[in-house]
Amino acid sequence: MEDQELRKAGLKVTLPRVKILQQLEDAAERHMSAEDIYKALLDAGADVGLATVYRVLTQFEQAGIVIRHNFEGGSAVFELANEGHHDHMVRVDTNEVIEFVDPEIERRQRAIAEQHGFELVDHKLVLYVRAKKS
Amino acid sequence: MEDQELRKAGLKVTLPRVKILQQLEDAAERHMSAEDIYKALLDAGADVGLATVYRVLTQFEQAGIVIRHNFEGGSAVFELANEGHHDHMVRVDTNEVIEFVDPEIERRQRAIAEQHGFELVDHKLVLYVRAKKS
DNA sequence: ATGAATGCAAAAACTTTGCATGACG
DNA sequence: CGTCATGCAAAGTTTTTGCATTCAT
pLDDT digits (tens, 9 = 90+) for B10-29: 999 999 999 999 999 999 88
Q: Is A96 on the interface with B (CB under 8 A)?
A: no
pLDDT digits (tens, 9 = 90+) for A65-121: 999 998 887 899 999 998 889 999 999 888 889 999 999 999 999 999 999 999 999
On chain B, the residues whose CB falls within 8 A of the CB of A72 are: 70
Residues 6+ apart with CB under 8 A from B7: B13
What is the distance between the alpha carbons of residues A78 and A125, in angstroms, rounded to a whole number?
16
What is the distance between the alpha carbons of residues B53 and B36, in angstroms, rounded to a whole number?
10
* For testing contact with chain B, the best of A102, A104, A105 (most B CBs within 10 A): A105
Q: Is B74 on the interface with A (CB under 8 A)?
A: no
Q: How distant, in Å, are the alpha carbons of A54, B63, B71, B101 from that of A76?
A: 10, 26, 11, 27
- Among protein residues, the one whose C-alpha sits closest to the C1' atom of D16 is A51
CATH classification (class only), A87-129: alpha beta
**Is the CB atom of residue A76 positioned under 7 angstroms from any atom of strand D?**
yes
Residues in chain B: 134
What is the distance between the alpha carbons of residues A35 and A53, in angstroms, rounded to a whole number?
8
pLDDT digits (tens, 9 = 90+) for B52-79: 999 999 999 999 999 998 877 789 999 9
Q: How many CA atoms lie within 13 A of B88 on its CB side?
A: 17
Q: Which pLDDT score is estimated for B107?
A: 97
A126 pLDDT more than 90: yes
Q: What percent of chain B has pLDDT over 70?
A: 99
Q: How distant, in Å, are the alpha carbons of A39, A82, A113 from that of B37?
A: 37, 40, 33
**CATH architecture of the domain covering B2-82:** Orthogonal Bundle (1.10)
Q: Which pLDDT score is estimated for A95?
A: 82
A134 pLDDT more than 70: no
Q: Is A14 on the interface with B (CB under 8 A)?
A: no
Which pTM value belongs to this model?
Answer: 0.88
Q: Do A129 and B118 touch (CB under 8 A)?
A: yes
What is the distance between the alpha carbons of residues B19 and A9, in angstroms, rounded to a whole number?
50
Domain boundaries, chain B: 2-82, 87-129
What is the distance between the alpha carbons of residues A105 and A118, in angstroms, rounded to a whole number?
17
pLDDT digits (tens, 9 = 90+) for A24-67: 999 999 999 999 999 999 999 999 999 999 999 999 999 999 99
Q: Do A121 and B104 touch (CB under 8 A)?
A: no
Once rounded to an integer, what is the mean pLDDT over residues A19-28?
Answer: 95
Q: Is B101 on the interface with A (CB under 8 A)?
A: no
Q: Do B105 and A109 touch (CB under 8 A)?
A: yes
Q: Is B126 on the interface with A (CB under 8 A)?
A: yes
Q: Do B132 and A109 touch (CB under 8 A)?
A: no
Q: How far does A93 lie from chain B, in Å, by closest CA? A: 11
What is the distance between the alpha carbons of residues B132 and B130, in angstroms, rounded to a whole number?
6
Q: Do A89 and B128 touch (CB under 8 A)?
A: no
pLDDT band, very low/low/confident/very high, at A14 (cuts 50, 70, 90)? very high
What is the distance between the alpha carbons of residues A126 and A129, in angstroms, rounded to a whole number?
9
What is the distance between the alpha carbons of residues B109 and B22, in angstroms, rounded to a whole number?
33
